[in-house]
Every structure is written in structure tokens, then in C-alpha cells.
Structure 1
Amino acid sequence: MYYTLINDSLLLIFSFIGMLAAFIYITILCRIHEQRTSKVRSLANLLSANSCIAGFLLNLFNFIDASIMYHADINIINENQRQPDSFCVLRGGFRSATLGALYHSLCVQAFYRLCCIVHTKHRSSRSYSFYICLIIIQWVISIGSIILFLLFKQIVYNPGGHFCQITLKNLFAFPFMYLIDYFLPLIFIIYIYIKIIIYLRHQSIIERFRRQQPIHMFRHIIYMLIILSITGIPLRVIFFLTHINHKLVPYYAQKLGMIFVTFSHASVMTYTLL
């Protein structure tokens, strides 16, 4: 009883911190945009705002789910008596979609930094219209994949945790979501990072100094990715243990893994604000 309430309270705190940090950062970016800074700076702010919007929505859905979990646990609702609310499956789908959108938005930011550092002569790759298209594609991929899961009823209710998501036991949907939303974006950003490092090694000291600002911002993206990667390890361990021997995994393990994931979402938004 006390463990579940502590678990739910941590989920509420972390998701609220993530929402607040994202909201503050979006507000700051709006104020900066009103001052009509340079076009390059405005484009960088647009991409940052895109990531923060995804982060805000993700933490919002986490907060709503955590509130429902807390209500169920504090009223000691028996697992067999728990029933999903009308929007549980839909909320679980959009939570997964915004998670994918957050990772994909980091890919868009990384690509922009690559163009600012390496491909400086290609002006078309730094145009507003080009990145608006990338942002639209990013959201279409994230939301489109989840709509397919909703149509094929891959998102199910978890009575033990009182939330809806793609179950770890789903050998098709969960690995597919993991590949699209996490693994491929991770490989893409690492590839860009290596390409930038190789490029800078062949540049003069003066040229490196001139590109310090874009490099600093790219490192910012890498640090956020590291936070998301490390804190996602417990959930990946739970996934593998579930398929090796489900008896090794206690019923509350998936809920415990959510603490680390929610903490990473809050940390990324807070780090963005700093």
C-alpha cells in the first residue's frame, strides 16, 4: 500500500516538474520571438520549442495517468475491480506518440546543427519551410504509428498499474515502437555526432572557435539523449526478463520502471531550461 502511494507520488512530482519546465521554456521562447531576433536564431528557437511542446504533452499525459493511479491506490481499489476509464487507451496511445515525437524532434535539432556546422553552403537545408516540413513529418510518423496500434488494438489496459500502454509481452508492437521511437533516432544522432567530430578535426583552430556555439548546442542534445538512454535501462531490463521468465518480474516492476522513465522526461525538460 505505502509503496504504491510513494510510487504514484514520485510519478506525479516528476511529471509536474517536467510540465512546468517545458511550459516556462516555451514561454521564454515566445518572449524572445516577439523581440524579432535574427532568422537563424529564430529557427533554432522554433526547433527547441518543438521539442518542448512534445515534452510538455508527454509529461501532461504522464501526470494524468499518475493522478488516476494515485486515486485508485489511495482508495485501495482491488486489481480485479479496476476498470479503465473511457480515454485510457487513447491517452496511452498519445503518450507513446509524444515520446516518439520528443526523440524525433531531437533528430531534427541534430540535423539542423549538422547543417550549421558542416553543410554551411547549402542554404536550402537551413530554410524555415524545410524545417517546418521536417516537423510535420516528425509528428505524422509519431502519431501515425500509434494510430495503427490503436486500430489493431495493440494498446491494452494494465489492471495492476491502472494505465494503458503497449504491453511488454507484445513481441510485435513493443519492439517496433522501441525501434522507431528510440533505437533509430539514437543511431541517427550518434552518426551525426561522429560526422561533426570528424569534420572538426580537419578544421583550423580559428574555424573551430567560430563554430563553438552550434557545437555547444549539439552537445546539449547529446546530454539530453544520454539522460533518456540511461534512465530507460530499467524498463529494457524488465522487458527482457519478462520474456525469459515472467515469474522473475514482480507485478509492480513495470510501474517501477515508469518512475525512471518519468524522471528522465522531467530531467530533460529541466536541463533544457538551464
Structure 2
Amino acid sequence: MCQIGKYKYAKNKDLHVQIVHLLYDRDNEDIQFVFTVVLPKQGVLFDEVEQKLALKPDLMQKILSNQNARTEKLHLYLPKFKMEAVFQLNGVLIQLGMVNVFNDTEADFRGIINKQDDRSVHTSTKPLEFISIMEHGIIGFVLNLISLIHGSFAIVISVLVIGIIIYHQYHNRLTREEKITLILSVNIYFYMNIYVAVLVSGNIQTLLGDIYEQNFDSSWCTFRGYLIPVSCCALFHAFAIQAFYRLCRIVYSNHRWVQFYWLYVIAIPVQLVEAIIILCPILIWHDVIYLPNEHYCFVPFTNTRGILWALLIAYGVPLLLLSLIYLRITIFIRQQPLNQTLMVKQRQKRDLAAIQRIFINVGLLFVLGIPGVTLLIMCFITGIEHPLTYRITWVGPEVSFAISSIQMVFMTPQLKNLIIIRRRQNPCLTAANIHHVYLANNHTLDFGVEGLEKTCETLDKSGISYVGAGRTRQQALGLVFLDVPISDSATVEKVKPVPMNASAPRSSSSLTIGLLSTLDSFISSSCSL
């Protein structure tokens, strides 16, 4: 329980304690139940307080009485706790007339027990639990379990995607753009994995704490609590770095050094070091503490300074960077002249779409985090912390990461081609390492329209682009842009654009395909760079 309210409050200088009286609601005005909390000052042992109270019964009565207390506005925090007591009822029951029950020879319980010859009764007492404060209950347990399941799923998917990307980069020759795009995807999945792993470890501690009431308070617990905002900050900066790469491709395309592959490889550890440095104040301020109700360490939501600093650095700064990058790209594209080449327009369109995909992924994290943010704002305003605030807060990110880990595969063309499309590839085409084919030749219809359609289907499944023919005339006339790494001594073929007057369809009106006519001299033209 954590709330701000008016309570009966007093201090006792003899015991060096603070006293708070919590009045229970009542229906009978003649009866009042009071829950009295006695808190020793720092450095005062509670055993010493108990000894003084045992020696001075009048002092105990003075503390329990709220006549000397004044009503004050307090910020009250009570952790989850359970009280047990043992009561010896033998003497009381004998006085009430139940004498034979506790006599081994006279006691007869054959009417309520199975064994006819067992006439004895056990008179030992067991602990009688009379107060148990459990703030979370089954709802808190279910919320924590949902977080644990989705977080574990996100970890598995992240590890699989990272492994596939590393294997693909090691065994294939990739273009610079493909390398950078994939390494930036690894960057996001890597820090997503760290962030979710820390959250899952907290879920496990909460689960064990709820069931077995274990205490995990330690220096390692504090470090893991600090690692939560650090890994979150690094993750959102990974999205910002990916957006920065798209910014450089569109706005600063003439600056080749900002598109250098190793620049983004170095950025992976740098962003983690940066997050550790700028978030170290919450360690210096000792804002990361053990939360006994959650059984892990974190910055409590009631700590305004620490939680605002963590939110500003982990969420605010990356979101501001993403917004500025998107704004700069949008303004730049609108200022471009209308006579730009189609290739430049298509590249800018692809990079702008990549920025929009980044916003979709980041937006998903924020949308699913709205319930937790709402509870956090309510805590700031009212001073009352909902018992399930932390558990509701972490459900959103872990569910969103489970969705994002799959969503990024489908929304990133390079990942989709690598993980999904390549699994359906023709093994012969894969072994030949073919990236693009030209279908306009005199053998295209050797197997008829059905053969051409089958060829297009096979190329689509294998992720191989093609021009010159297709299922429709528009597809045959479509443009394909390829980023091919060229060395200084390379000799490559340059094919001139197809003149419109040379693109006459060979197919009759009954065919549903498109096929371009070409000249032998047009196909074989080449030059050296």
C-alpha cells in the first residue's frame, strides 16, 4: 500500500519511534478498530523498543491511544506482510466444560473418526493465521504469468532471428545496403533480447516471491533494476540509429562515410555505453531500491525524480530524435525538384517507408504501455499507488515485444526475404546466387504462357527480380533497381533503357502476360568502367 492521506500521527521521544493510527471503517459508532503502526527511527533496533514496552505497560497504553496523536497529511507506504499467532486453548476449553476432550482415557471420538480403537486426541496447537495482507491476489499472479509467457516468446524469436542473420551474413556475399540493414536489425533484436531477458528475470522473481515469499534483495538485484532502463534506452536508440541510416541515404547521400558498414557495427556497443553513462545518476541517487511487493529492484513510481529521469532518457530522447529525423526527411523530399530521376525517387520512397515502419514498431510499444503510463500519472496526481501498477506496466512492453519480434520480420523486406521467402526458394537458383534475370528473349514462350507464369512464380518465391516479361504488360515494363558492389577494376555490363517504340507486345489479345521485344545488339551492348 502506498498513498497520501490524513492519518493520526504521533512521536514518542522515549522510544524514538513514529506512530500512525489507521482507523478502520465501522457501522457501529460505539466500536472502533484501529491498526497502529510503530516505526523506529533509523538506527533504533525494534528489539529495544519491544523490551521497553514490556517493562512499561503504561507506555504501551500511551502508544496505542490516539488521544495524543494529531491529524496530519502523510505519505504512507506499507509493504506486503503476514502476521501469525499461536493460541493455547486447552485451559479455556476446560473452563468452559470440555473436560473429557483432553483426557486420554475419557475422550471418545469414534463418531467422527474412522479408527474405532483410536480414542485419543492431539492437544498440540498449530499457528493460527489471523492477518494476511496480499495486495495482488490472483489477478496479479495472472498478469505476471502473461508477462512471463510473452517475454519468453520474444526471447526465443529474437535469438532465432539473430542466429539466422549471422549465418546468412557469414555464408553469403551481400551488398553494402543489405549488410547495414541486417546489422541494424541485429542491433534491435540484440537489445530487445537483453531488455526482455531482464524483465523476464523480474517476472520469475515475482512468481517465486508470491508463491514462496522469498526475498531477493541484494547488490545484484540493484544492478538488474538499473539494467532495465539502460537496456530500454539502448533499444530505443537502436531504432534511432536505424532511422539515422535512412536519413543519411536520403539527405546526405553524397557523404559516403556516413554509409560506412563498420560505422554502424561500432555504434552497437557505443549506444550501450552511452545509456550506462547518462542513466548512472539513478544509481548515484540510490533511486533503485528493492520493492518487497514485487520481489525485484527498480525505481519506485513514487520517486518522482528517478522515474522522470529514466523516462526522459529511455523514452523521451529517442522519440525526439526519431521525430526530428522524420521531419528532416519529409522537408527534404518536398524541397526536391520535380525533374529528379525515377531511381532517386524510388530509393527515397523506400527509405521513407523504412522510417514509417520504425515509427509503427515504436508506436506499438507506446500504445500497449498506455495502461501503465495512466496508472503512473494517477499516482503522481493522487499520491495513491495502485497495487497492480508495476504488473500492469510490464505487461504492455512484454506483449508488444512478442508482437514486434514477429512483425519486424514481415515489415522489413530484407528479413522477410531472408527468413520467409528463401525457405521456399529453388535450391538450384540459390546455389547459383542469382539476383536478377532478363526474360525478354526469343525462348520466353517455348513452353507457352503457362511456362512463363510458372517461371515468374518460381522467381518470386526465390526472391529474384526480373524484367522484360511478366504476368501483365505493366509488370513487364516495370523498373528494378539493384545495388551491386563495384570494385575499382570491375567490368560490368550496362544495359540501356528500353526505348518505348521498341517495346511491342508479342502476345496476342487472348494472352494475360506481357512480353517485350528486343534487339540482339541492344541486349549485348556493354562498356567498361
* TM-score normalised according to structure 2 size: 0.48
Hey, what's the Cα distance between the residues in 1 that align with 2:235 and 2:220?
22
Which structure would you say has the larger Rg? Answer: 2
Hey, what's the Cα distance between the residues in 2 that align with 1:160 and 1:170?
16
Hey, what's the Cα distance between the residues in 2 that align with 1:222 and 1:270?
16
Partner residue in 1 for 2:403? 267
Is the counterpart of residue 104 in structure 1 residue 237 in structure 2? yes
Unpaired runs of 5+ in structure 1? none
Is the counterpart of residue 39 in structure 1 residue 176 in structure 2? yes
Partner residue in 2 for 1:225? 362
Q: Report which stretch shifted further, 148-157 or 59-68.
A: 148-157
CA offsets, 1:8-27, max 9 Å, x none? 21011111121112112211
Identify the match of residue 222 of structure 2 among 89, 94, 97.
Answer: 89
CA 1:49 to 1:83, structure 2 compared with 1: closer, same or farther past 3 Å? closer
Contact 2:365 2:397 in 1 (8 A): yes
CA 1:236 to 1:273, structure 2 compared with 1: closer, same or farther past 3 Å? same
Q: Secondary structure at the match of 1:211?
A: helix
Partner residue in 2 for 1:15? 151
CA offsets, 1:100-159, max 9 Å, x none? 100011111110011112211111111134334433331112122344423432211111
Identify the match of residue 114 of structure 1 among 230, 247, 254.
Answer: 247
Contact 1:154 1:173 in 2 (8 A): yes
Identify the match of residue 201 of structure 2 among 39, 58, 64.
Answer: 64
Contact 2:216 2:296 in 1 (8 A): no
Hey, what's the Cα distance between the residues in 1 that align with 2:354 and 2:183?
14
* 1:37 aligned partner, one-letter code: L
Partner residue in 2 for 1:242? 379
Alignment of 1:178-193 (within 5 A): 178-193=311-326
CA RMSD between the two structures: 2.0
Q: Secondary structure at the match of 1:157?
A: strand
* 2:155 aligned partner, one-letter code: M
Partner residue in 2 for 1:200? 333
Contact 1:21 1:273 in 2 (8 A): no
Q: Secondary structure at the match of 2:304?
A: coil
Hey, what's the Cα distance between the residues in 2 that align with 1:266 and 1:94?
20
Partner residue in 1 for 2:387? 251
Partner residue in 2 for 1:6? 142
Hey, what's the Cα distance between the residues in 1 that align with 2:216 and 2:163?
38
Contact 1:89 1:156 in 2 (8 A): yes
The alpha-carbon deviation at position 250 of structure 1 amounts to 2.0
Bigger proportion of residues as helix: 1
Bigger proportion of residues as strand: 2
Identify the match of residue 290 of structure 2 among 157, 177, 182.
Answer: 157
* 1:192 aligned partner, one-letter code: I
The alpha-carbon deviation at position 86 of structure 1 amounts to 5.3
* TM-score normalised according to structure 1 size: 0.90
Contact 1:54 1:98 in 2 (8 A): yes
The alpha-carbon deviation at position 221 of structure 1 amounts to 0.9
Alignment identity in percent? 23
Q: Secondary structure at the match of 1:53?
A: helix
The alpha-carbon deviation at position 83 of structure 1 amounts to 4.7
Q: Secondary structure at the match of 1:23?
A: helix
